[in-house]
Amino acid sequence: MRRAGLSALAVVTALMPTFAHAVACPQEKAVYRDRDNAYELVFSPVQIDAESNTHRFKLSVLGTKVSLDGYVTGSTPVNRSNGILFFNCPDGDVTGKDIADCTVWQGVLYGQSAGRIDLLPAQGKDAADAILLPDLGPSIQQSKAYAESKAKVAPWDVLDFKECAK
């Protein structure tokens, strides 16, 4: 029996998802997908000294031209990865109402690596194996982006690492 247990452990270990790719990728180049492969979240670098954002990302509805722009900022005195996701915000001089009207989702982004949920890794750090955006799915489903993209599913709140952007 003991031998079968060890063999089973070897098989399980061999079949585990290969999240090692995330380790070789900095967070600002990480690409994630939802479980239905209907949405893709792509991070891009920011100049930390020049911007108040710690991260920038784009969430695209695959198979459509619809994409949403996202930003992450830190907070004080309690450090959090506060994210906000916009769809079709006007350019130029905008009001608070304009921003509220184009805001699709707002909340804390969490990263998950090695089974531990934590804040989103900083730029230059190894990318998280998965990203958690609480209530993303319902927020997208209630937005103009969902209607415009004619999406068939709302994204799950967890997006898994897919690849490292070049």
pLDDT tens digits for range 60-85? 999 999 999 999 998 888 889 999 99
User: Model pTM greater than 0.85?
Assistant: no
Query: Structural domain boundaries of the chain?
Result: 21-164
**Residue 161 in this model has a pLDDT that exceeds 50:** yes
Please, which pLDDT band fits residue 148 given cuts at 50, 70 and 90?
A: confident
How many other C-beta atoms lie within 10 A of the C-beta of residue 133? Answer: 27
How many other C-beta atoms lie within 10 A of the C-beta of residue 123? Answer: 17
